[in-house]
Amino acid sequence: MLETRNLDVTIGGKAVCRGLDLAIEAGQCWAVLGRNGVGKTTLLHTLAGLREPECGDIRLQDKSLARLSRRSIARRLGVVFQDNEDPFPASVMETALIGRHPHLGNWRWERNDDKMRAMQALKNLRLESLANRPVSTLSGGERRRLAIATLLTQDPALGLLDEPTNHLDLNFQVSVLELLKKLCTRGQAMLMVLHDINLALRFCDHLLLLLGNGRYLLGETSSLGSAANLSLVYQHPLTELSGPRGPVMVPG
């Protein structure tokens, strides 16, 4: 789905990663973990082609990202940003339909199947009853679920999500991640920035751990998601406990 080769990313003179060789394959669900300010969002924006790396190559479905048009990228890759801005009035349905724009020809309106896809995405996020509501009237959690519904409407092969559980209550945190994981079992791939270690361990099969100063670890969650590695990431001791769905990390 997406591959980086010898990727260097910096921001404000600080190294986010150096020599990153990352390969995200169909069906995989990745979590990016790291301390505040380590550059998780900067890396995600770089992988989406929204900022230039210092050096290295990013390939999307075996094509150089730098040589693809924004429309071509948007047909393959979708992004959920950390925050959403709504400068123009729009309904919930109209906002979800933005996800279909990369698939429409010039001056073409959405067809019935586009609207059906958007409505199904709203149903999946339990927003269908709000379809005609102005976006400006939504709570923070409802707006977050709408951003994810827009991604589902877009239906990209790869989703890059920056804190998808932000503003969500516990029940929605779990149900949203269950939904994204289900999409991976159907052949899509996800890479998401998360702050909740235990949600990452539960739902993501691969981890990218940003350690600071350009250092990183990556690999399968089963081998990389240890208390020792995660303590190194967060510079705080963690203790591993046995939970009903696998290991649980608690502060030491």
pLDDT along the chain (252 residues), means of 10: 97 96 98 97 97 96 94 96 90 97 82 95 98 96 98 97 96 98 96 97 98 97 97 96 92 90
Q: What radius of gyration do the chain's Cα atoms show?
A: 18
How far is 230 from 65, CA to CA, in rounded Å?
Answer: 31
What is the model's pLDDT at position 246?
Answer: 87
CA distance 140 to 21: 35
User: What integer pLDDT is reported at residue 12 of this predicted model?
Assistant: 93
Evaluated on CA atoms 180, 181, 187, 193, the torsion sign reads positive
Token pair 């804190």: residue: 163
Q: Nearest CA to 60 among 40, 76, 75, 78?
A: 76
Please state, in angstroms and rounded to a whole number, the distance separating the CA atoms of residues 151 and 180.
10
- Is 113 within 8 Å of 105 (Cβ atoms)? no
pTM for the full model? 0.95
The full set of domain ranges for the chain reads 2-88+156-251
Quick one: pLDDT at residue 209? 98
Which pLDDT value is given to residue 241? 95
Homologous superfamily (CATH) for 2-88+156-251 = P-loop containing nucleotide triphosphate hydrolases (3.40.50.300)
Cα 200 from Cα 90, distance rounded (Å): 33
The per-residue pLDDT for 195 is 95
How far apart are the C-alpha atoms of 64 and 62, rounded to whole Å?
7
Q: What is the pLDDT of residue 252?
A: 86
The DSSP line for 176-224 is: HHHHHHHHHHTT-EEEEE-S-HHHHHHH-SEEEEEEETTEEEEEEHHHH
